[in-house]
Amino acid sequence: MEPSYIFLTMAVTLLSMPATGFGQGTTRVGFYSKTCPRAESIVKSTVESHFRSNPAIAPGLLRMHFHDCFVNGCDGSVLIDGPNTERKAVQNSLLRGFDVIDEAKAKLEAACPGVVSCADILALAARDSVVLTKGINWKVPTGRRDGKVSLQSDAAKLPGFTDSIESQKQQFARFGLNTQDLVTLVGGHTIGTAACLVFNYRLNNFTNGGPDPTINPSFLPQLRSLCPQNGNNFRRVDLDTGSANKFDTSFFTNLKNGRGVLESDQKLWTDASTRTFVQQFLGEKGVRKLNFGKEFAKSMVKMSNIGVKTGSNSEIRRVCSAIN
Active site residues: 67
C-alpha dist (Å) from residue 106 to 53, 194, 214: 20, 30, 47
Q: Exposed/middle/buried for 5, CB within 10 Å: 0-12, 13-18, 19+?
A: exposed
How many whole angstroms from its chain centre is CA 207? Answer: 31
Task: Say whether 248 counts as a known binding-site residue.
Answer: yes
Contact 260/269 with Cβ under 8 angstroms?
Answer: yes
Contact 102/109 with Cβ under 8 angstroms?
Answer: no
Quick count: other Cβ atoms within 10 Å of Cβ 242? 11
Task: Say whether 238 counts as a known binding-site residue.
Answer: no
Task: Say whether 65 counts as a known binding-site residue.
Answer: no
Task: Say whether 225 counts as a known binding-site residue.
Answer: no
Task: Say whether 190 counts as a known binding-site residue.
Answer: yes
Helix (H, G, I), strand (E, B) or coil at 178: coil
Task: Say whether 86 counts as a known binding-site residue.
Answer: yes
Task: Say whether 154 counts as a known binding-site residue.
Answer: no
Task: Say whether 159 counts as a known binding-site residue.
Answer: yes
Task: Say whether 120 counts as a known binding-site residue.
Answer: no
Task: Say whether 77 counts as a known binding-site residue.
Answer: yes
CA distance linking residue 252 with residue 69, whole number of Å: 24
Task: Say whether 258 counts as a known binding-site residue.
Answer: no
Q: Which positions ≥6 away from 315 have C-beta within 8 Å?
A: 145, 146, 148, 323, 324
Annotated binding site: 68, 71, 73, 75, 77, 86, 159, 189-190, 240, 248
Residues annotated in the binding site for Ca(2+), as ranges? 68, 71, 73, 75, 77, 86, 190, 240, 248
> Which positions make up the binding site for substrate?
159
